[in-house]
Chains A and B, each alone.
Chain A
């Protein structure tokens, strides 16, 4: 065989294999019933941020998603550094990253940041969009406005001194003003009302989005699929995607997702049905899971007459749950909780009370509190049969019921509908809706200090203001919250939060049970996936054979 023929054959083969080689495509089945909104501020909770926020857009600050072992912390994004004014703690200066371009080619600068703050906070702005306010404003409750200092510097203002602002800002995704203005100009002149024009421009933007993120929008079929392609010019060269195209498909049914993965319709599914995990593994699929900043607790009522007002009883309950066995029953899909955040997290704070399974010690504490096998303590807990983030509430609560019975607790479960439970959570333990419950079982995300701790521990956050359901009123907590909120050096702020966390664990403020692990199953063809300790994922490092 001559060299020539060999070359020709190789060329022919390359030609044949060409189309297959040219594009590396990964197809993902999401749990959402619809594609999360694509115009910058996604709906559908954190799954929305995961798929249509962090892919196509960046925030001024970002989450570090590069490691499966370290806790995920806030890192610079479109802003490179930030600081609060020495004289006025409600004014922040953010230095912006130079040389960043939106997908439409326009430059990212201070004007773009001001424009993106206005889109949700300035009702007078032409591009104000009410539909994006809800999901944005509630995640950055103190942000009030933005002002350009120079091309690469902006000043942000808050309503009160708030050191959590940089963490909140991970939820503000920067969309391209130039692209929006171009689409506004394309709205037919027949539409006169400026509000209607703006609305149509946003609708067009959702179909033809432009951000600064590692992925660019390529094809969008509402309610069916979103295709994004890699952005080879992404500003962070380490995070340029390794696959060419990513397809996202909404598949709200756990079984449909599993069937789709098994039949090769998709390469990656979010949250497979736990029951299907053994079968998925048997058919060669890989299942990834890692602790998420999520808490599955019993939140205690601390109103007058609640049995949980006795710290010995609270500690006993925490020591009486066999979390290891619970984990087995969930096919391994949980992490045993030792507090709101796990050991090693910047807010961990080394509490002295070690939450583990120690029924002997628990019974001793209960005996001290005056209870025994003959004279058990009756407690009532409100929970739901299902719900987002609730994992498997009925089996888990039932398991706890059996555990706690060994430590002289007689647990009554009040099972109500998920939406009602969620509403009751805001009404508080004193409300009629609590039906005399001593604890409520609602799960929550614990990424942001406000949502992880402040709203439960600060006495000012009692209903109807926020979710201090049990009316915890502990001057120590209030002081520590205030301290954390007004400490502006990031490390010192985390230290203050760690003190608050340690104090709450030592006081057994909750019955901490589990953290969710965000399971996802993938075809063995996918390599290099990193499952961080986060609700989010970086899709850039993965490859597909």
Chain B
């Protein structure tokens, strides 16, 4: 999760409405990004409106209809090991999976940006205190840290949210600090100061405007890692608890069925893969759209 070089380059151009409009326009012209956005929007909407789609009850199973193959009448994607409708569980599973995948990154974006901007703007001892503490967490490989925290706290949705947030705060803080330090030393900030703008105004207008963009792009690139890690925790039995539908957990419980119905067992993994690759491609697209050098 080393910070990509592109995200570290402070965007020197003053944040203007024109710039963001430009970014937006460039993004809409990129077919790959648009396709990914479409797929993600579809999955997200389906997950949000799952209760209104007229799907089968995702909790209601039946021993008589266990492990039906894909294409069974009434069960387009088959049934799971307890006879529950796979289509319904995959769509309902999107709710928790997306939540525990995306929420930690949002949390970490807020906390990490605050810490990093504070460290970068104030500098000195505050910077030392914050950045050296962050360094300690960099001493753990991300998977190990997530599993250590979840393993210690025990299984549960809240616990896995906490552990993943802790994993993503340090890298975001580091990016935020380095971008802020870069922007702070730029000429136009000095000019603003010289013209008598107060510290708060400088921070609000100039620093936030120029800093949040790169941090945001960096944060979007973490979502796919977060999705994989979050479902990995559930897969190990450290995340969501049964009988909640969640892709990682479904993958785990369906393992018992790989002899009977391997393709049904593989479906939740395909969902994680699809969402994760879309977030990655979208994040790449966003980065090149924001790259003013082009």
Q: Are chains A and B touching in the complex at the 8 Å CB cutoff?
A: yes
8 Å CB interface, A263-285 against B: 273, 275-276, 279
- The count of residues in chain A whose C-beta lies closer than 8 Å to any C-beta of chain B is 17
- Of B61, B255, B257, which contacts A394 at CB under 8 A? B61
Which residues of chain A come closer than 8 Å to B66, judged between CB atoms? 395
B243 touching A385, Cβ below 8 Å: yes
Which residues of chain B come closer than 8 Å to A255, judged between CB atoms? 255-256, 258-259
* Cross-chain pairs A/B with CB under 8 angstroms, 7 sampled: A258-B259, A273-B259, A276-B259, A329-B63, A386-B242, A395-B63, A395-B66
Secondary structure class of chain B's binding surface, majority of residues: loop
Which residues of chain A come closer than 8 Å to B82, judged between CB atoms? 394-395
A275 touching B260, Cβ below 8 Å: yes
B13 within 8 A of partner (CB): no
Interface contacts (Cβ under 8 Å), in number, total 41
* Other A-B pairs beyond A279-B260, A395-B83, 9, CB < 8 Å: A275-B81, A275-B260, A329-B63, A394-B82, A394-B243, A395-B61, A398-B61, A415-B243, A417-B155
Task: Tell me the bound Cα distance from A258 to B83 in angstroms.
Answer: 22
A275-B243 CB under 8 A given contacts A394-B61, A394-B82, A395-B63: no
Chain A 244-268 interface mask (CB, 8 Å, partner B; 1/0): 0000000001110010000000000
Which of B61, B63, B64, B81 gathers the greatest number of chain A CB atoms within 10 Å?
B63
- Of B61, B62, B242, B256, which contacts A273 at CB under 8 A? B256
A275-B257 CB under 8 A given contacts A394-B82, A399-B63: yes
8 Å CB interface, A347-405 against B: 385-386, 394-395, 398-399
A385 touching B242, Cβ below 8 Å: yes
Closest to A254 in B: B256
Chain B 239-261 interface mask (CB, 8 Å, partner A; 1/0): 00111000000000001111110
Task: Tell me the bound Cα distance from A130 to B155 in angstroms.
Answer: 29
Closest to A275 in B: B260
Chain A 326-364 interface mask (CB, 8 Å, partner B; 1/0): 000100000000000000000000000000000000000
B90 within 8 A of partner (CB): no
Which residues of chain B come closer than 8 Å to A253, judged between CB atoms? 255
B126 to chain A, nearest CB (A): 43
A417-B241 CB under 8 A given contacts A273-B259, A275-B256: yes
Task: Tell me the bound Cα distance from A415 to B258 in angstroms.
Answer: 25
Which residues of chain A come closer than 8 Å to B62, judged between CB atoms? 398
Which residues of chain B come closer than 8 Å to A386, judged between CB atoms? 242
Which of A386, A395, A417 gathers the greatest number of chain B CB atoms within 10 Å?
A395
Closest to A273 in B: B256
Task: Tell me the bound Cα distance from A329 to B66 in angstroms.
Answer: 10
A33 to chain B, nearest CB (A): 12
B262 to chain A, nearest CB (A): 11
Task: Tell me the bound Cα distance from A386 to B67 in angstroms.
Answer: 18
Chain A 409-428 interface mask (CB, 8 Å, partner B; 1/0): 00000010100000000000
B67 touching A275, Cβ below 8 Å: yes
Closest to A326 in B: B63
Which residues of chain A come closer than 8 Å to B63, judged between CB atoms? 329, 395, 398-399
Which residues of chain A come closer than 8 Å to B243, judged between CB atoms? 385, 394, 415
> Lowest 6 A-B CB distances belong to which pairs?
A385-B242, A395-B63, A329-B63, A276-B259, A275-B260, A273-B256
Chain B 82-99 interface mask (CB, 8 Å, partner A; 1/0): 110000000000000000
A329-B256 CB under 8 A given contacts A275-B81, A415-B243, A417-B241: no
B64 touching A329, Cβ below 8 Å: yes
Which residues of chain B come closer than 8 Å to A399, judged between CB atoms? 63
Task: Tell me the bound Cα distance from A49 to B182 in angstroms.
Answer: 65
Task: Tell me the bound Cα distance from A394 to B63 in angstroms.
Answer: 10
Which residues of chain B come closer than 8 Å to A398, judged between CB atoms? 61-63
Chain B 140-180 interface mask (CB, 8 Å, partner A; 1/0): 00000000000000010000000000000000000000000
